[in-house]
């Protein structure tokens, strides 16, 4: 009996010591095991992808390629793993704060790193605060903007928009044709995959309120291969027809291209590659020049 009582006394000492250390022996062992499992689970933090808003409300001419353009941007982000895409035609997304009435207050420009305007023709129904928000999103916050084709065919009563994008639509003198195009900046990531001279069947815009002194021309029409006789739509006497450019607007990066008028153009791997790299560039994932330069042959 004395030996049994001694055993109980020794056991009490062990359990008492364990209690002073904050756990029973078995619990301490399980805690150590859990600690080891936790340690093994710790690794690199998950990569946070960029977010891109594709906005495609047409209030003027409605291009039947808008759906293709918006879907392609979604697909490019998904397949490349570079960004997540939100597709919308809701103008209330173009603001930094809650919409009037407070609904959908989690969906606004603050959620995104870049905005893509996909052939957004006509006067967009933005109030004055929305206009300020979009401009400051790019100019002050350093976020990105990509204009696809008819993104410059609208907002003619909003000069700051044209200043941000680079200009306004002023006719398409040759409608849809086999456009002869020259690469002016082969180092830029969005156009380096093109041959120096190439042909694309597309509708090329003539641009007003535009100057190559304010943008980096990436692609232009080969003026020596164009037809001019009797074409009253041609207004540029310098015959300088930019097809794509890059520029800065304050802290933000801006890319625009007139390519993407036809539905078929969005099945073209070269056009897809151009917009993939353009979005990556405005997101700050790659580098490319925005320095203006004289016409390059």
Q: Quick one: DSSP state of residue 3?
A: H
Q: Give the list of residues 6+ apart from residue 224 with CB closer than 8 angstroms, or none.
A: none
Q: Which of 114, 118, 113, 96 is nearest to 105 (CA)?
A: 96
Q: Can you name the CATH fold of 51-282?
A: Rossmann fold (3.40.50)
Q: Write the DSSP assignment of 234-245 as a string of letters.
A: ---TT---EEEE
CA dihedral 185, 189, 191, 193 (to 10 degrees): 120
The pair of three-digit structure tokens given for residue 118, joined into one six-digit string: 């996909």
CA triplet 59, 63, 64: central angle to 5 degrees? 125
Contacts of 212 (CB under 8 A, 6+ apart): 240, 242, 245, 292, 293, 294, 295
- pLDDT score of 103: 57
- The confidence score (pLDDT) of residue 61 equals 86
Q: Dihedrals φ, ψ of 203, to 5°?
A: -105, 115
Structure-token match 């917009």, residue found: 275
Residues 6 or more apart whose Cβ sits within 8 Å of residue 277: 189, 190, 193, 286
22-27 contacts, C-beta under 8 A, 24 or more apart: none
SS (H, E, C) 76-128: HHHHHCCEEEEEECCHHHCCCCCCCCCCCCCCCHHHCCEEEEECCCCCCCCCH
Q: Are 288 and 190 in contact (CB under 8 A)?
A: yes
pLDDT at 150: 96
List average pLDDT for each run of 10 residues in the chain, which is 297 residues long: 38 40 42 46 71 96 94 98 97 86 72 97 96 98 98 97 97 95 98 98 96 97 95 93 98 98 97 98 98 95
pTM: 0.84
- The residue whose two tokens read 């021309």 is 217
The pLDDT of residue 85 is: 98
């Amino acid at each position: 009996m004395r030996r049994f009582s001694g055993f109980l006394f020794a056991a009490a000492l062990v359990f008492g010591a364990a209690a002073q250390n904050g756990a029973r022996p078995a619990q301490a062992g399980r805690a150590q095991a859990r600690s080891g499992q936790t340690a093994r689970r710790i690794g690199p933090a998950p990569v946070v992808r960029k977010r891109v808003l594709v906005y495609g409300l047409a209030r003027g001419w409605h291009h039947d390629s808008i759906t293709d353009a918006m879907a392609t941007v979604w697909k490019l982000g998904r397949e490349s793993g570079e960004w997540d895409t939100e597709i919308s035609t809701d103008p209330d997304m173009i603001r930094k704060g809650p919409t009037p009435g407070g609904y959908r207050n989690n969906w606004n420009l603050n959620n995104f790193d870049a905005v893509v305007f996909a052939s957004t023709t006509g006067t967009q129904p933005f109030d004055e605060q929305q206009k300020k928000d979009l401009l400051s999103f790019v100019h002050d916050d350093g976020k990105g903007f990509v204009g696809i084709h008819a993104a410059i065919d609208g907002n003619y009563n909003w000069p700051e928009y044209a200043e941000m994008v680079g200009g306004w639509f002023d006719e398409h003198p040759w409608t849809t044709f086999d456009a002869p195009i020259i690469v002016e900046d082969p180092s830029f990531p969005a156009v380096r995959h093109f041959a120096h001279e190439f042909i694309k069947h597309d509708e090329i815009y003539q641009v007003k309120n535009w100057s190559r002194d304010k943008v980096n021309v990436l692609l232009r029409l080969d003026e020596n291969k164009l037809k001019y006789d009797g074409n009253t739509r041609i207004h540029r006497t310098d015959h300088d027809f930019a097809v794509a450019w890059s520029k800065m607007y304050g802290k933000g990066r801006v890319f625009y291209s007139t390519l993407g008028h036809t539905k078929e153009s969005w099945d073209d791997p070269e056009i897809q590659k151009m917009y993939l790299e353009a979005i990556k560039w405005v997101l700050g994932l790659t580098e490319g020049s925005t320095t203006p330069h004289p016409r390059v042959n």
